[in-house]
């Protein structure tokens, strides 16, 4: 039977997450504009005009006349150059700065609070010493801005009246005035171009709330877990365990695609190892999560165990049919070109086998997947047109060959975002490699994939073959081992977050613009 223990539906719209996780600057138009990642493409300071031109990977610094405030893009800076400079505004105007390598953008952790004062000025120490300065923001357009700051070579004195201060930002208020301040004192200009726009609050547990309703499901970058239930029974078995976090923890970390092998009696298994939970147990956990937040959706891959007899297969069909039937409206009626709006609040079952449908509705939920090589034909259980899915899940190869296959799939997935490509293809990219144990594979693969998505050039083969992201687009479903784990051995949640944030790097296709 469907779950009856869930209380009344809890709203999980943007207001809910902003209240839960905090968005102190939600009313500030300037903060809403700044939110996201930026890179410096031009600066004028100390009488020099510096433009970041790149030739063969080398940055040339050109001096010249005063840069006219047109907001022109004079670069951009290459992400693998030593002079790369980026800044992220996030969570109430805190910033994280990085130089030399975009990988540091997430890891440096240098949170510096800034305060908006009258006249669109930021009170803070961005781009220079810890002496407090006012920063004037000039908005050129939606993706370009300039900062005008006081001459960094002169330590200015502040007059704060009776207010005690020690010359650094945290002890200043908007009442403090710069002695001798005038517009003529402002010599330094930095021009920034937006890398990506990030909503003020994107909690991993609620990221789908922020996806546009009209986006095709195939256009969304979705983190998924490989053999999602091995926590239950194989936790200490390093040869076979793929997840060491419960299903609830995976969900809260942002995972929305799950993978289950179901025995004929309803139990779960992996590589012929029986697990301690049933398929029904897992589906009920997902149903509970969706009843709490109907803005979300789950994609569930289901297959029978290998080597089942025909009689066992019929038992499997009956069991899986009973579980899906009990979901009622929470089981999605899949259609080609399904949108986020159509998927919200539901589980989309992608099955390698048909099942016995005993539901009340005439339409049968789910989609049948028939694979030939890497290409999968998806056909609605209710009939109708098909859609294609492309799967990368190579095994039995070296780590470098696996990485090459992963990056090829990601680049192909981003290519499908080209509007000249009319066919709608759902990409699945498995990072799992368990020949020497899944943990060892994940430790080697996850940092490299994160680096690729962050813009860091990777050497994916002993031959020196280089892999670097050169365009933006959807990743499809990325299947990951230890997907939400944070431990001394592996940190995979940063990759999960990067996959989620990738949704803000490109314009998603809809039915109307395909």
Domain residues of the chain, as ranges? 23-197, 217-504
DSSP string for 237-279: -TTT----S-HHHHHHTT--EEEEEE-TTSEEEETTEEEEEEH
Are residues 434 and 441 in contact, defined by beta-carbon separation less than 8 angstroms?
A: yes
One fold for 23-197 and 217-504: no
Q: What pLDDT tens digit does each residue of the chain (514 aa) get?
A: 343 333 344 568 887 887 777 654 444 677 778 878 887 776 665 444 444 443 333 333 443 333 333 333 344 444 444 556 677 776 656 666 655 554 444 444 444 555 565 555 565 554 444 444 556 677 777 788 877 655 443 444 455 556 554 443 333 344 455 444 444 444 566 777 787 777 766 788 889 999 999 999 999 999 999 999 999 999 989 889 999 999 999 999 999 999 999 999 999 999 999 999 999 999 999 999 999 889 999 999 999 998 889 999 999 999 999 999 999 899 999 999 999 999 999 999 999 999 999 887 889 999 999 999 999 999 999 887 789 999 999 999 999 999 999 999 999 998 865 545 556 899 999 999 988 899 999 999 999 998 888 766 666 655 567 787 878 899 999 999 999 888 888 888 889 988 998 998 888 988 776 5
Preceding amide of 76 cis, omega within 30: yes
DSSP-derived 3-state class of residue 452: helix
Please tell me the distance from the alpha carbon of residue 407 to that of residue 429, in angstroms, as a whole number: 9
DSSP 485: -
Q: What pairing do the DSSP bridges indicate for beta strands 222-225 and 144-149?
A: unpaired
Nearest to 468 by CA among 416, 407, 377, 401: 407
CATH topology for 23-197? Lipocalin (2.40.128)
Q: Please, are residues 128 and 154 in contact by the beta-carbon 8 Å criterion?
A: no
Let me know: does 293 contact 254? Beta carbons within 8 Å: no
- Record the tokens describing residue 105, joined without a space: 């953008």
Domain 217-504: give its CATH architecture: Alpha-Beta Barrel (3.20)
Per the listing, tokens 């709490």 go with: 292
Strands 144-149 vs 188-197: parallel, antiparallel or unpaired: antiparallel
CA distance 181 to 164: 20
Nearest alpha carbon to residue 87 among 108, 116, 62, 71: 108
Q: Could you tell me the two tokens for 415? A: 């290519």
Whole-angstrom CA distances from 49 to 58, 74, 145 are 18, 11, 17
Does residue 123 sit in helix, strand or coil? strand
| The model's pTM | 0.76
In the structure encoding, which two tokens stand for residue 322, read together?
A: 């009973």
């Amino acid at each position: 039977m469907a779950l009856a223990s869930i209380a009344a539906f809890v709203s999980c719209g943007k207001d809910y997450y902003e209240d839960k996780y905090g968005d102190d600057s939600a009313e500030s138009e300037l903060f809403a504009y700044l939110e996201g990642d930026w890179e410096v493409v031009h600066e004028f300071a100390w009488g020099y005009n510096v433009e970041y031109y790149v030739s063969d990977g080398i940055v040339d610094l050109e001096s010249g006349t005063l840069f006219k405030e047109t907001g022109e893009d004079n670069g951009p800076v290459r992400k693998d150059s030593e002079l790369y400079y980026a800044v992220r505004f996030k969570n109430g105007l805190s910033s994280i700065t990085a130089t030399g390598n975009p990988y540091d953008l997430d890891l440096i952790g240098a949170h510096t609070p800034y305060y908006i004062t009258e006249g669109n000025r930021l009170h803070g120490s961005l781009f220079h010493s810890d002496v407090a300065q006012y920063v004037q923001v000039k908005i050129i357009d939606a993706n370009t801005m300039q900062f005008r700051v006081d001459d960094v070579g002169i330590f200015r004195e502040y007059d704060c009246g009776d207010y005690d201060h020690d010359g650094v930002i945290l002890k200043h208020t908007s009442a403090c005035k710069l002695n001798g301040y005038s517009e003529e004192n402002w010599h330094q200009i930095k021009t920034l171009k937006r890398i990506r726009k990030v909503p003020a609050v994107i909690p991993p547990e609620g990221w789908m709330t922020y996806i546009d309703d009209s986006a095709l499901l195939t256009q969304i970058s979705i983190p998924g877990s490989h053999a999602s239930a091995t926590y239950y029974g194989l936790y200490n078995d390093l040869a076979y365990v793929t997840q060491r976090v419960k299903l609830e923890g995976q969900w809260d970390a942002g995972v929305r695609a799950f993978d289950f092998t179901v025995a004929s009696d309803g139990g779960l298994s992996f590589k012929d190892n029986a697990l301690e939970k049933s398929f029904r147990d897992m589906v009920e956990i997902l149903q509970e999560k969706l009843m709490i937040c109907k803005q979300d959706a789950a994609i569930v891959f289901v297959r029978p165990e290998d080597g089942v007899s025909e009689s066992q297969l019929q038992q499997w069909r009956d069991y899986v049919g009973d579980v899906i039937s009990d979901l009622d409206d929470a089981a999605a009626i899949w259609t080609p070109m399904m949108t986020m709006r159509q998927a919200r609040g539901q589980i989309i079952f992608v099955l390698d086998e048909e099942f016995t449908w005993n539901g009340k509705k005439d339409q049968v939920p789910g989609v049948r997947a028939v694979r030939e090589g890497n290409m999968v034909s998806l056909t609605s259980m209710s009939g109708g047109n098909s859609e294609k899915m492309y799967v990368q899940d190579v095994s039995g190869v070296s780590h470098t060959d696996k990485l090459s296959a992963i990056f090829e799939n990601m680049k192909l997935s981003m290519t499908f975002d080209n509007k000249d490509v009319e066919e709608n293809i759902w990409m699945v990219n498995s990072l799992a490699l368990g020949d020497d144990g899944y943990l060892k594979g994940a430790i080697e693969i996850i940092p490299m994939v994160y680096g690729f998505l962050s813009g860091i050039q990777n050497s994916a083969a002993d031959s020196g073959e280089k892999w670097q992201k050169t365009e933006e687009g959807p990743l499809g479903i990325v299947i990951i081992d230890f997907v939400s784990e944070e431990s001394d051995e592996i940190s995979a949640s940063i990759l999960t977050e990067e996959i989620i944030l990738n949704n803000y790097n490109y314009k998603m296709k809809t039915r109307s613009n395909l």
